[in-house]
């Protein structure tokens, strides 16, 4: 299979728990927390793993949260490379209110990256041998990283012969599009392409993976069995 490299410039640890009711001005007793790695490209790599594929994840790591993030990635068996930063990787909080089955998501800002830090990242990308066939840049950019970073990344990827997929929003997306879905949908699409499937089949597999993710509780990603079953249904109807 062809090589997939995913990019996460603003990774996080997602801390999730449950409580019977969310009530203001009251101490709430929550269930034991669950810790998962989070962030756009990181979740793409996790979903690819769940779908039976492999990828290489590139991301920044700093502080105690960064060390914990590395541990979580090792536990999930993800191939990954990090570049060290001075800032501390963010931690997000997700609370499920059991009485209503509604989620409350609290997203924290990422650390500010220095110019030499994000430039080092571009250098690390060029050190990957052999070069990636598919390069997936997904998620928000942290403070300090210029809006045209994904455009620079897309240019570097194209120069190395990689097909580049950018999943972000706002100015960063506009600038990237001038060069070249949810995390599970992106994962399903790029994995199928890497397996040599047609664009139509790959998009359908991505839609199946995205739909499968909606079927899972909380912040969990797609399940392989759900994705394959939904893909078979879509294929029979097309």
- Catalytically active residues are 183
Q: At what angle do helices 183-194 and 199-214 cross, to 10 degrees?
A: 150
Cβ-contact 151, 170 below 8 angstroms: no
Closest CA to 8 of 148, 150, 176, 185: 150
DSSP string, 80-136: EEEEE-SSPPEEEEEEEETTTTEEEEEPPPPPPPPHHHHHHHHHHHHH-SSPPSEEE
Residues 6+ positions from 44 with CB-CB distance below 8 Å: 6, 55, 136, 138, 167, 183, 186, 187, 190
169: DSSP letter:
-
Residue 52, φ and ψ in degrees, nearest 5: 95, 10
Q: Which residues contact 159 (CB under 8 A, 6 or more apart)?
A: none
Beta bridge partners of 81: 58
H helical segments located in the chain: 40-50, 63-75, 115-127, 149-159, 170-177, 183-194, 199-214, 224-237
């Amino acid at each position: 299979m062809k090589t997939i490299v995913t990019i996460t410039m603003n990774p996080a640890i997602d801390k999730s728990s449950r409580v019977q009711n969310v009530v203001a001005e009251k101490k709430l007793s929550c269930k034991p927390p669950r810790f998962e790695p989070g962030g756009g490209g990181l979740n793409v790599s996790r979903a690819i793993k769940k779908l039976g594929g492999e990828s290489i994840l590139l991301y920044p790591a700093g502080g105690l949260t960064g060390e914990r993030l590395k541990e979580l990635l090792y536990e999930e068996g993800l191939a990954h490379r990090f570049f060290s930063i001075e800032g501390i990787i963010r931690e997000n909080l997700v609370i499920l209110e059991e009485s209503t089955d509604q989620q409350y998501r609290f997203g924290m800002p990422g650390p500010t990256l220095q110019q030499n830090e994000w430039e080092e990242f571009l250098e690390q990308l060029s050190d990957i041998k052999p070069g990636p066939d598919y390069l997936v840049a997904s998620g928000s950019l942290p403070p300090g990283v210029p809006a045209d970073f994904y455009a620079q990344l897309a240019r570097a990827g194209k120069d190395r012969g990689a097909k580049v997929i950018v999943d972000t929003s706002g100015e960063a997306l506009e600038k990237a599009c001038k060069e070249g879905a949810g995390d599970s949908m992106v994962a399903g699409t790029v994995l199928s392409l890497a397996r040599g499937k047609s664009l139509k089949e790959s998009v359908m597999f991505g839609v199946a993976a995205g739909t499968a993710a909606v079927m899972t509780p909380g912040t969990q990603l797609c399940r392989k069995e759900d994705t394959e079953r939904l893909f078979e249904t879509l294929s029979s109807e097309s």
